[in-house]
Structure 1
Amino acid sequence: MKNSIIVLAFLLCSLPIFAQTQAPGPAGTPSIEARLIELALANPAIKVRDYERAKTVSELNKAGASWLNYVTASANLNSVTLKLVDQNALGTQLYYPLWNVGINVPLGSLVGKGADVKIARRNLDIATAQQEMARRQITAMVLAKYRDYTKNKALLELQRESTDEDQAAFEQAEAKYSASSITYDEYNIASKRYKEGQARIITLERDIAVSKLEVEEIIGVKLEDVTNIK
């Protein structure tokens, strides 16, 4: 019972320390992944999608306003308004309109323009969907590449620790083999394990360098410029 109370008191005292170690960064400071996403969304591939959508918006506006090109107004003047004939001499002429004004709207053209507007709207929908799809794809890509990078760094750290142990075991086996206290097969097993560990380190270092380059290609800046921001 006494031991339980001591353990419980220790855990309670440790809670503030644990909370401090788990506390997030300063308020308003974005995480590394948030900064990576922000930089990735400024990628030229995304800008192309933005430009394409802006283009389709302009095309829609143009299609919606171009029906005015098919509307024509006409007016003609009769002989009275031009004062070529005496109005008093033409009794019935006064009952005719002095101006003849008309507006011509080709119905076939209006039907065609309605279809053009619908096509422009669908193109805008397509461009909007492509823009959103590109944003999602590049977000997933940069996060996946960055997580590959951090995973390989963690694996490299573990592999180095393991290889250090294998190196120590190999050096001991080498000394024992020189003293003829172990067989060649035992020495060879230790040597092979150590060399395999070295090969895995080389592979992981290469994977880290590649994933780092892939992240930097997406975000357009050095990865250190993002991860070193406090």
Structure 2
Amino acid sequence: MKTISALSIFIITFFALQVSAQETILTDINYGQLEKYVQLAKENYPRAKIVRAQMESVRLAIPMANVSYLDIFTASYFYRPEKNQDAINPTNPYSVNGFQFGINVNLGSVLMKPFQVKKAKADYKVAKLQTLDQDMFITTETKRRYYLYIQTASQLKISTQTAQDNKNISETSRHRFEKGEITLDNYNISRMLVSSSNTNKIQAEVNYLVAKDALEEMIGQKLTDVK
């Protein structure tokens, strides 16, 4: 009577796993699609929007600082009716009827304004560097999440195939056990392999969904909506 030993079942399963594990994910990477994801992340990622808005706010501070040079000067006027006479000294030669205009200069503002303009320009330069830094982070993080998504998709594919292979082995073992060709121990081993591979498959499914959600969070869209 021909029998299949526990060691034989293990070896068959081991080599099935090895063949699957040797597959590469490099061929699954779509660099054109990855670039789309990076661009979408730069447009939709909330932190990127905040940094761009902050940079725009700082940029507008430069012309505002330049225009504020006018704050240095304060214009004023005084109106004295023609018929109004100096109550104290009607012959006062410095008393002038009609409109009188004057301009005051704030010396503190004169000294401060150049530094305010310089600070506004420096703040804008910092804001641009922060935007550049944010773009670099978004690019790197989007790629990382995309690669993780591809990895988990590949692992799910392998786990699904392994679970199916082990199920087939278990079915074959059951038929042979019913015919008395293998022992109960050998049949039970095949059943344990099925249970283990199904558990791994479920974990792979969870990992895939988590990676998919993380990538969609980054790009601000469902992957199925990206053309």
TM over 0.5: yes
Q: 1:63 aligns with which of 38, 62, 65?
A: 65
Contact 2:38 2:139 in 1 (8 A): yes
Higher mean displacement: 169-178 or 125-134: 169-178
* CA-based RMSD: 3.0
TM-superposed CA distance for 1:55, in Å, is 0.5
Deviations 1:76-131 (A, max 9, x none): xxxxxxxxxxxxxxxxxxxxxxxxx9976444322222332233223212221221
Displacement, 1:52? 0.9
SS at match of 2:43: coil
AA of the residue aligned to 1:108 = G
**1:36 aligned to 2:37?**
yes
What's the offset of the Cα at 1:147?
1.8
By how many angstroms is 1:57 displaced? 1.0
Q: How does 1:139-154 map to 2 (within 5 A)?
A: 139-154=139-154
Inter-partner Cα distance in structure 2 for 1:158 and 1:143: 22
Offset at residue 225 of structure 1 (A)? 2.5
User: Identity across aligned pairs (percent)?
Assistant: 27
Displacement after TM superposition at 1:136 (Å) = 1.8
**1:50 — aligned with what?**
52
Q: How does 1:1-230 map to 2 (within 5 A)?
A: 31-43=32-44, 44-72=46-74, 105-226=105-226, 229=227
| Unaligned ranges ≥5, structure 1 | 1-21, 76-100
The unaligned stretches of length 5 or more in structure 2 are: 1-26, 78-100
Rounded to whole Å, the distance in 1 between the matches of 2:179 and 2:75 is 112
> Structure 1 residues 111 and 188, CA, compared in 2 at 3 Å: closer, same or farther?
farther
Q: What's the CA shift for 1:216?
A: 2.0
* Aligned counterparts of 2:150 and 2:76: Cα–Cα separation in 1: 74
TM-score by length of 1: 0.65
> Structure 2: how far apart are the matches of 1:158 and 1:181?
30
Q: Give the secondary structure class of the aligned counterpart of 1:41.
A: helix
TM-score normalised over the length of structure 2 = 0.66
Contact 2:145 2:214 in 1 (8 A): yes
Higher RCO (CA 8 Å, separation ≥ 6 residues): 2
Q: Which amino acid aligns with 1:212?
A: K
After superposition, what is the alpha-carbon deviation per residue over 1:26-57, rounded to whole angstroms, capped at 9, x for unaligned? xxxx9111211221111133222111111101
Q: Which amino acid aligns with 2:124?
A: L
2:114 and 2:66 map into 1 onto residues whose CA distance is: 8
Matched positions, count: 176
Q: Distance in 2 between matches of 1:71 and 1:63?
A: 15
Shift in Å, 1:73: 6.6
